[in-house]
Structure 1
Amino acid sequence: MYLADRSAPAGAQGAPDRVPGRTPSVAPAVLALGTVSLITDVSSEMVTAVLPLYLIAGLGLSPLGFGALDGVYNGVSALVQLTGGHLADRVRNHKLIAGIGYGLSAVCKPLLLFAHGLGPVGTVLALERTGKGLRTAPRDALISLSTPAAAQGRAFGVHRAMDTTGALLGPLAAFLILSVAVDGYDAVFGVSACVAALGVVVLILFVPGTAGSPGSGSGRTGAGAADGPAAGAGAGPAAGAGPQAARPVGVREALALLRLPRLRALAGCAALLGLTTVSDAFVYLLLQRRTGIADQWFALLPLGTAAVFLLLAVPAGALADRIGRRSVFLTGHALLLAGYGLLLWAPDWPALPFLVLALHGMFYAATDGVLPAAVGAVVPRELRATGLALVGTGQALARFGCSMAFGAAWTFWGTGPALAAAAAGLLCSAAVAAFVLRPPDPSRRPRGSRGTPR
């Protein structure tokens, strides 16, 4: 039970995952999906950048109310993500389910123009997050199925870098619109809707309907192969077949994924760490209050995180493929803990905002693409979207709980004690994850198992 330190153990059967002496190229499907994510993230982050101030300063919500709404914003996506992943595997059309999700999110953007209270805004955000939940697992499955196992971290890093380019441009666009428009918030929501529609058009025209994979055609190759037939969940003959040859996936096969020890370890650790990962919106609000950043500059704070993420996502993914995903994943959470420490105890340095945002971006670069790459290495291809959804759902639900708890702690205890509790929890969670995801002892490796994890 470890974080798939090496995706392709020596001796695994099937086509080789990499050509000796050559770096695997990024599949066209990955680039097309990255473009869709870039455009969609411009739209989404325009709204996300202004939403905290809009709700707290504009609508007068308390931190507790905002924590509840932020929890809904993320929790609904988590609940729907599992459905989206299973539907994509069942109908064997990942593009269709992803397209429905992107379309629903695009339709919800203009509805924010007419929502002016907690109830209406919460409803619109819940519908928008429903779209995100539907698209996330099918999109990541398309990336995983189009990429050789040994290059999964790099492929997800490229996608996340393109996605983050949109996350960088979105707040900048919101800042520019707010600085020139009379009805600033409404203008942001209107432009966001137009950009989201463009993303759906690009998906329809340029993303292939099926994922061919020169090096990941078998769900039995890679790190998942060592689990053996007894692992269940798609370990039969269809596991190595193409998507058209695989039989329809039922609920029973999906639930059998939980019998995979490595998948259980990944899902459990992702959820545990999510319980102590303070949401981005709260991090930016804490940074503003800690440093006294003026309101008009608030929408630019996500740019710092996005810029660092953009620079490091591909190198971090490639490093994870080379030295081990467990090490990179845990290092990312250590960097996040350092950011919490700076917010709590650092003196009022002029560089403090830049340091916190840099650590925040490094955390995402080391974790956001590395986790799905690790999941893709242990789940059979015909259940890839479902496996990704299982881990993503657990993590998102945990972050939903963290948003609720942190909002309540802020309201009743204040910012300092609330963040100190989150930091202590993250330290304990990371220690547990380091133990659970540790590499297995070679001396206790079952006789006859293939490969030696590194």
Structure 2
Amino acid sequence: MRVYLSTVSRPVTDPPETGPHRRRLAMVSGNVVALGAVSLITDISAEMVAAVLPLYLVLGLQLSPVAFGVLDGVHTGATALLRVVGGYAADRFRRRKLIAGIGYTLSAVAKLGLLLAGRSVPAIGAVIAVDRLGKGVRSAPRDALITLSTPPEALGRAFGVHRAMDSVGAFLGPLAAFAVLLVVGESYDAVFVTSFCVAALAVVVLVLFVRERPPGEPTDGPDDPKVSVREAFGLLRSRPTRRIVLAAALLGLATIGDGFVYLLLQRRADLDLHWFPLLAVGTSLAYLLLAAPFGVLADRIGRLPVVIGGYSALGAAYLLLAGPVDGWPLIALTLALYGAFYAATDGVLIALAGPVLPTRLRTTGIALVQTGQALAYLVSSVLFGLAWQAWGPGNAIRAAAVAVAGVLVVTLLLLASPSRLVTRKVPR
């Protein structure tokens, strides 16, 4: 079987299908739904912490923008290389569920670590690194399981449904944190303990309901060779893979952290600190409503146009934060655009990369894409923190908008050449 790189821009148009096959594509597999449930529960836990952490660090511990940028970058990028390690281990041993489970468990334990860290910034940084280690280890095996449980022509839909379920958790997490703080007052420890209990439940659901080997994946024979390190990193010798990894890294470089966006919104709208955790709810609501429709749209018109549209929405959100609009209109418009950005890019970017990666090395390839983004995000967070401190928040966010525009041009040059997209084939 061969996969055409034209799926990056526009899916191959086949004759209309009817009957059971068409109905089968109208839904996603049980494994995708089970993984979505795990992500939903995990995101409730993660977003409970994420909703209060910027407030705690910047206003509670009085961190400077640069220090917050470093911690925020650590939150996503410091353990990025371990994504490749996790992806390679999952491919070599064909134990994607096990590797993902280790990642989910690490993130759950990190929630308790926040209780022990107290007000020590280095300790908080170390705990955040462990949490992101867990995310880095689990993300590629989870996404590989989704791609292996789904026909190539329905990947956008599958990732859209998964990310929609994930965003339900992102929507409920800040609300849960808000409820806990209403009940116990400004006790962040109560938020951390509740978050741990929820994360532990996600691990239980993963163990009980997610299948290690999706239907249709061939089993290993006694003479089948294991994936070698040389073979795994040989992926980068493939021009399509290199281009996608480079594009993902550039897109990550143009993305600042959620915490910065919400802090800017709070300052611009003069929002009472009591409502700060609910800013993430607005983003998650837009994400929830748009993830599945954007996934279906990506399967129909092409994944690259949807990704480009998502980053255009991100640039527009950055410009709003530096524009003349204030108050609740600013909050509503910015959060809607920010949620649209995530809905159009998060799963769709992996769906874009999936068809050009061989099944045998699918998890490693996805990990390379995610690692490129995460490392670039680490650099972006630090640079934005420096720009905020040197130029002020307004000029810093304008510079970020310009960076988005420049990166989109380069991404189109990398991925949208008609000759590469139409004629180049990638053996599976």
Q: Same fold (TM over 0.5)?
A: yes
8 Å CA contact retained: 2:9, 2:421 = no
Find the counterpart in structure 2 of residue 415 from structure 1.
Answer: 393
- 1:75 is matched with 77
Q: CA shift at 1:347, angstroms?
A: 2.6
1:78 CA drift (Å): 1.6
SS of the residue corresponding to residue 345 of structure 1 reads coil
5 Å-filtered alignment, 1:285-304, equals 285-304=263-282
Q: Aligned residue for 1:198? A: 201
Q: Which runs of 4+ in 1 moved over 6 A?
A: none
Distance in structure 2 (CA, Å) of the matches to 1:399 and 1:8: 33
Deviation at 1:46, TM superposition (A): 0.3
In the alignment, what sits opposite 1:235? none
Q: Is the 8 A contact 2:171 2:284 kept in 1?
A: yes
Q: Quick one: percent identity of the two aligned structures? A: 53
Whether the aligned pair in 2 keeps the contact of 1:8 and 1:149 (CA below 8 Å) is no
Aligned equivalent of 1:47: 49
Mapping 1:211-222, distance limit 5 Å: 211-213=214-216
Q: CA, structure 1 residues 40+199, in 2 after alignment: closer, same or farther (shift >3 Å)?
A: same
Alignment correspondent of 1:34 = 36
TM-align CA RMSD: 2.1
Q: How does 1:375-386 map to 2 (within 5 A)?
A: 375-386=353-364
TM-score, normalization by structure 2: 0.93
Shift of 1:21: 6.7
Aligned pair partner of 2:318 in 340, 346, 353: 340
Whole-angstrom CA distance in 2 between matches of 1:110 and 1:273: 33
Q: In structure 2, what is the equivalent of residue 132 of structure 1?
A: 135
* Number of the residue aligned with 1:104: 106
Partner AA of 1:423 in structure 2: A
C-alpha separation in 2, matches of 1:358 and 1:10:
35
Q: Give CA-to-partner distance per residue, 1:168-195, whole Å, 9 cap, x none.
A: 0000000111112145201100100111
Amino acid at match of 1:153: G
Whether the aligned pair in 1 keeps the contact of 2:156 and 2:347 (CA below 8 Å) is yes
Which of the numbers 138, 145, 157 marks the counterpart of 2:160?
157
Shift of 1:440: 1.6
1:185 to 2:188 alignment: yes
Following TM superposition, by how much is the alpha carbon of 1:8 offset from its aligned partner in structure 2, in angstroms? 5.2
Separation in structure 1 between the aligned mates of residue 184 and residue 23 of structure 2, nearest angstrom: 54
- Corresponding residue SS for 2:226: coil
Q: Contact conserved, 2:107 with 2:134, CA < 8 A, in 1?
A: yes
Provide the C-alpha distance between the structure 2 equivalents of 1:278 and 1:100, rounded to a whole number of angstroms.
28
Letter paired with 1:72: V
1:402 aligns with 2:402: no
Relative to the length of structure 1, the TM-score reads 0.88
Contact residue 171 and residue 285 of structure 2 kept, 8 A: yes
- Number of residue pairs aligned between Structure 1 and Structure 2: 417
Matches within 5 A, 1:221-370: 242-245=218-221, 246-348=224-326, 350-370=328-348
Residue of structure 1 equivalent to 2:371: 393
Q: Specify whether residues 243 and 319 from structure 1 end up closer, same or farther in structure 2 by C-alpha distance, changes over 3 A only.
A: farther
Structure 1 unaligned spans of 5+: 218-241
Determine the C-alpha separation between the residues in 1 that align with 2:38 and 2:22.
32
The structure in which a higher percent of residues are helix is 2
Q: Which runs of 5+ in 2 are unaligned?
A: none
What SS does the aligned partner of 1:248 have?
coil
* CA distance in structure 2 between the partners assigned to 1:54 and 1:243 by the alignment: 49
Aligned to 1:236: none
Contact 1:5 1:320 in 2 (8 A): no
Deviation (angstroms), 1:108: 1.2
Cα deviation, 1:68-112, whole Å, max 9, x if unaligned, reads: 111111113422111111110011110000001111111111111
